[in-house]
Structure 1
Amino acid sequence: MIRPRILPGGWYPDTISEIKTNLDRWTKDVEEDTTCFAAIVPHAGWYYSGRIAAIPLKKTCGGKKIIVVIGGHLPPGSSILAASESEIETPLGIIVNRLDCIKRLQEDINIEEDIFSDNTVEVILPMIKYFSPGADAIWLRAPADEKAVELGKILYELTVELEVETAVIGSTDLTHYGANYGFEPQGRGVSGLNWMKNKNDAEVIDLLVNMSSKDAVDHALANKSACSIGAAAAAVEFASQNGVEKGLLTQYSTSYDVMPSDSFVGYAGIIY
Structure 2
Amino acid sequence: MINANTVRTPAVAGMFYPANGHELRTMLNDFLKETKSYSEKVPKAIIVPHAGYIYSGSVAASVYARLTAARDTINRVVLLGPSHRVPLRGLACSRMAYFATPLGNIPVDKAAIDEISTLPQVSTLEQAHAQEHSLEVQLPFLQTVLGDFSVIPLVVGEASPEQVGEVLEKLWGSKETLIVISSDLSHFHDYESAQKMDKLTSQAIENLRPEDIHYEQACGRIPLSGLLQVARARGMHAQTVDLRNSGDTAGSKNQVVGYGAYVFN
State whether TM-score is above 0.5: yes
Question: Residues 18 and 240 from structure 1, CA distance in 2 versus in 1: closer, same or farther, beyond 3 angstroms?
Answer: farther
Deviations 1:2-32 (A, max 9, x none): 1111114021122332233222222223347
* Equivalent position SS for 1:43: coil
What is the correspondence of 1:90-239 to structure 2 with a 5 Å cutoff?
A: 90-112=101-123, 113-116=125-128, 117-143=131-157, 145-146=159-160, 148-160=161-173, 165-178=176-189, 192-198=190-196, 200-213=197-210, 215-216=211-212, 219-221=213-215, 224-239=216-231
Q: CA deviation at 1:100?
A: 1.6
**Larger displacement relative to structure 2 (129-138 or 100-109):** 100-109
Contact 2:44 2:175 in 1 (8 A): no
**Larger displacement relative to structure 2 (126-135 or 9-18):** 9-18
Question: 2:39 & 2:57 partners in 1: Cα distance?
Answer: 17
Match of 1:23 among 28, 47, 66: 28
Alignment coverage as a number of residue pairs: 249
Q: CA deviation at 1:33?
A: 5.0
Matched with 1:182 is none
**Larger displacement relative to structure 2 (94-103 or 9-18):** 9-18
Question: 1:129 & 1:50 partners in 2: Cα distance?
Answer: 14
* Equivalent position SS for 2:226: helix
Matched with 2:83 is 73
Q: CA deviation at 1:34?
A: 4.9
Q: CA deviation at 1:256?
A: 1.4
* Equivalent position SS for 1:115: helix
Question: Residues 264 and 30 from structure 1, CA distance in 2 versus in 1: closer, same or farther, beyond 3 angstroms?
Answer: same
Contact 2:95 2:126 in 1 (8 A): yes
Question: 2:81 & 2:159 partners in 1: Cα distance?
Answer: 14
Identical aligned pairs, as a percentage?
22
Contact 2:91 2:159 in 1 (8 A): no
* Equivalent position SS for 2:127: coil
Deviations 1:108-162 (A, max 9, x none): 342122413111000111111111130111100223642x4432343223334xx
Question: 1:99 & 1:82 partners in 2: Cα distance?
Answer: 10
* Equivalent position SS for 1:211: coil
Question: 1:259 & 1:164 partners in 2: Cα distance?
Answer: 38
Question: Residues 60 and 193 from structure 1, CA distance in 2 versus in 1: closer, same or farther, beyond 3 angstroms?
Answer: same
Question: Residues 58 and 87 from structure 1, CA distance in 2 versus in 1: closer, same or farther, beyond 3 angstroms?
Answer: same
Structure 1: runs of 5 or more not aligned: 179-191
Question: Residues 56 and 237 from structure 1, CA distance in 2 versus in 1: closer, same or farther, beyond 3 angstroms?
Answer: farther
Question: Residues 55 and 36 from structure 1, CA distance in 2 versus in 1: closer, same or farther, beyond 3 angstroms?
Answer: same
Question: 1:2 & 1:43 partners in 2: Cα distance?
Answer: 21
* Equivalent position SS for 2:96: coil
Matched with 1:54 is 61
Question: 1:84 & 1:259 partners in 2: Cα distance?
Answer: 37
Question: Residues 41 and 32 from structure 1, CA distance in 2 versus in 1: closer, same or farther, beyond 3 angstroms?
Answer: farther
Q: What's the TM-score once normalised by structure 2's chain length?
A: 0.84
Deviations 1:63-91 (A, max 9, x none): 21111111103699722111221111011
User: RMSD in angstroms over aligned alpha carbons?
Assistant: 2.4
Match of 2:251 among 255, 259, 269: 259
Q: CA deviation at 1:210?
A: 1.4
**Larger displacement relative to structure 2 (119-128 or 203-212):** 203-212
Q: What's the TM-score once normalised by structure 1's chain length?
A: 0.82
